[in-house]
Amino acid sequence: MKIAYQGEPGAFSEAAARRVDPDAPLIPCRSFDEVFDTVQSGAASYGVLPIENSIGGSIHRNYDLLLERSLPIVGEVELPVVHHLLALPGATLDGLRRVYSHPQGLAQCERFLRTLTNVEIIATYDTAGSAKMVADAKMLDAGAIASARAGDVFGLQSLAASVQDFDDNITRFLVVGATPLPNRAPDKTSIVFSLPNEPGSLFKALSVFALRGISLTKLESRPIPGRPWEYLFYVDLAAARDEVHCTRALAHLGEFAPLLRTLGTYASWKTHEGLQPDPFEVVS
């Protein structure tokens, strides 16, 4: 099978894809939309997409794409993220005037970046892509926030290691595809629903899970385009969709939710963590 991911070689999404299957051929994509396109066209069996980071929060575009596209979630991956400030050999910290990275990478290193003086912070489409840009343009006065592997791929040195704000910096990725991942029993379900704008509607919605002892591991609201101040609710449930109590909870929710869609039922990362080690992961 082939796996699509967003970014250049050396991106954290590449490392996450390796955790799905270390031997699978990988297809780098320019954007998250392109990841979906690549899987839907059949050029890749699965796509890997970041959905939230323990420091920077949610990647909202991917929540929207899960609703816009028809590919279900079939798995998840958690990846420890260690950021480095990369630059060309010979560059110095004092000589930097620009630092590039993906907005999430910049958000995760905010405290460190505030210590840099006379340096412009510039957001780009990808962490590893920022490293590639610095290398290709031979910018001695610029650096990139990216992985150690990105430095190896593009011939950059690390001017500062582990520059993320917190040591426990973890990104959760979703795996999307038309077929379930092999040998992974579902124990988690992701859904999205809307509610009528009336008192107690969210309390009523969440109670269908509380009454059946189903834990919510994530609750995210997103605005509904074209309907100001109305929202969709994305929820992760600690139960497989086909478990009786989950099936009944969803049926109950469907009685009053104008929109209810299951985005996927899949194995949570804890059930197979460590079975697919990342050969490129650098933790220091």
Residues tagged active-site: 171, 173
- Start-to-end CA distance of the chain, whole Å, equals 31
Pairing status of strand 46-53 against strand 3-6: parallel
Answer yes or no: are the C-beta atoms of 188 and 76 closer than 8 Å: yes
Pairing status of strand 3-6 against strand 26-29: parallel
How is the beta sheet containing 157-161 ordered, strand by strand? 120-123, 98-101, 142-146, 84-87, 157-161
E strand or H helix that includes residue 204:
helix 201-210
Please give the C-alpha separations between residue 145 and each of 78, 84, 125, in angstroms, as whole numbers: 20, 6, 12
Label residues 221-254 b or e (16+ Cβ within 10 Å = b).
ebeeeeeeeeebbbbbbbbbbebeebeebbebbe
Query: How many other CB atoms are there within 10 angstroms of residue 30's CB atom?
Result: 13
Answer yes or no: are the C-beta atoms of 173 and 79 closer than 8 Å: yes
- Gap between the Cα atoms of 216 and 20, Å rounded: 24
- Gap between the Cα atoms of 114 and 221, Å rounded: 30
Contacts of 77 (CB under 8 A, 6+ apart): 16, 19, 20, 48, 172, 173, 175, 269
Encoded amino acid at 54, one letter: S
